[in-house]
Structure 1
Amino acid sequence: MKYGFAICLLSMLHLMCSAQEQLSTEPLILNNMKLKITFGDTELTATLYDNPTTLDLIKQLPITTKLEDYAGTEKIFYPKQKLTRESAPDGYTPSKGDITYYAPWGDVAIFYKDFGYAKGLISLGVIDNNGIEQLMTVGSTEVILELQGD
């Protein structure tokens, strides 16, 4: 009887932890807010995720900066101030179109190719409607990042 209760309790804890893991893998979206990325005659939008790191970046907008190509995989820039890591996971596996913050170096990265798991990488959002194709074709370019309400 004693072992049956312990097994039942462990099973319940496992189910609760599994449910929590599933909840935490789906990012919460910031409602009615988009990131607008403008370069040349091109304007892209991105969906932003509701987390402390993204909110910290929003506080610095608008940002005019030069995006630099890094490792043939991503475009990066350094915000004026480092962003918070509060409540951030240990790392992240980015996909093409993901906007992330690499905490160890303090840079924001927009991935135009899939990449493997990186410790210290925090997801901020994702480029909408395959717009990443336009960004990946330009070299180092000046961009304006600003908040766009719906």
Structure 2
Amino acid sequence: MNSPVRGALIRAAPAAALVLTVSACSSDAQKATPATMSSASDRNTPMDIRVTLDGRPVDATLNESPTARDFAALLPLTLGLQDFHGTERVADLPRKLDTSGAPEPAAAQIGDIAYYAPWGNLALFYQNGPTASADLLILGHLDISADQLGSATRITIEAASWPRLPPEPPTPSPAPGSWPSAPPGPAYRATPPRRCPHGTDPPRGP
């Protein structure tokens, strides 16, 4: 092989190696993309909560938006409900919630749990709400009829991961005519009568 051709091949070798390296990196990046998308979708998994409306249990969930997670940090909560505009039942929260990173606004539907940021209150919709607004953040949903939600006056919300204590078993009553057994204790020992140190007992009585 003549010298000019050999020199050209030597100069071309680093460029070819660079192209192969870039292609390999691009392939690795494409393989990593599905994992990133999967972890993003995992953040939308709903959180189960326990809800009681006027003493009746109701199935409910919270979404995993930052505002919903901040709301979950306040649980457990028991709130009195008031009507607002014939559309929702509202209650004041102990503090305002974090609204950073809120998702795109959506119009509230029947059963939605929402947070109205300007007033800092909780809203439970028993009728479909108005058009979507950035001030109204959907936190979750209640599986309940519009009539039951529209007449509710009190709500208790708890995290579903908190175990409820089982009720204490009733104390059994003794059978008629019997006495409950006494707890075990030390064996009884009779105390001998005291004797006079002089060998005779003192007189008793007159």
TM value normalised by structure 1: 0.71
Residue 67 of structure 2 aligns with an amino acid whose one-letter code is: T
Partner of 2:9: none
Distance in 1, Cα, partners of 2:105 & 2:84:
19
Map of 1:124-135 to 2, 5 A cutoff? 124-128=139-143, 130-135=144-149
Write the deviation string for residues 51-86 of structure 1: whole angstroms up to 9, x where unpaired.
110000100000111011111000111110100111
Of 91, 112, 131, which residue of structure 1 is paired with 2:126?
112
Distance in 1, Cα, partners of 2:161 & 2:145:
18
Return the offset for 1:132.
Answer: 4.4
Partner of 1:146: 158
Map of 1:39-54 to 2, 5 A cutoff? 39-54=53-68
Distance in 2, Cα, partners of 1:111 & 1:29:
22
For these two proteins, the number of residue pairs brought into alignment is 121
Map of 1:1-150 to 2, 5 A cutoff? 28-30=44-46, 33-89=47-103, 91-117=105-131, 118-128=133-143, 130-138=144-152, 141-149=153-161
**Higher share of residues assigned strand:** 1
Return the offset for 1:133.
Answer: 3.6
Stretches of structure 2 lacking an aligned partner (at least 5 in a row): 1-39, 163-206
TM value normalised by structure 2: 0.53
8 Å CA contact 1:44, 1:131 repeated in 2: no
8 Å CA contact 2:111, 2:124 repeated in 1: yes
Cα distance 1:110–1:40, how it changes in 2: closer, same or farther (>3 A)?
closer
Stretches of structure 1 lacking an aligned partner (at least 5 in a row): 1-22
Distance in 2, Cα, partners of 1:40 & 1:120:
28
Distance in 1, Cα, partners of 2:157 & 2:64:
17
The structure with more radius of gyration: 2
Return the offset for 1:41.
Answer: 3.2
Return the offset for 1:42.
Answer: 1.0
Moved over 2 A (4+): 89-92, 130-133
Q: RCO (CA 8 Å, sep 6+): is it higher in 1 or 2?
A: 1
Q: Between the two proteins, what is the percent identity of the paired residues?
A: 34
Q: Could you say what the CA RMSD is over the residues aligned between the two structures, in angstroms?
A: 2.3
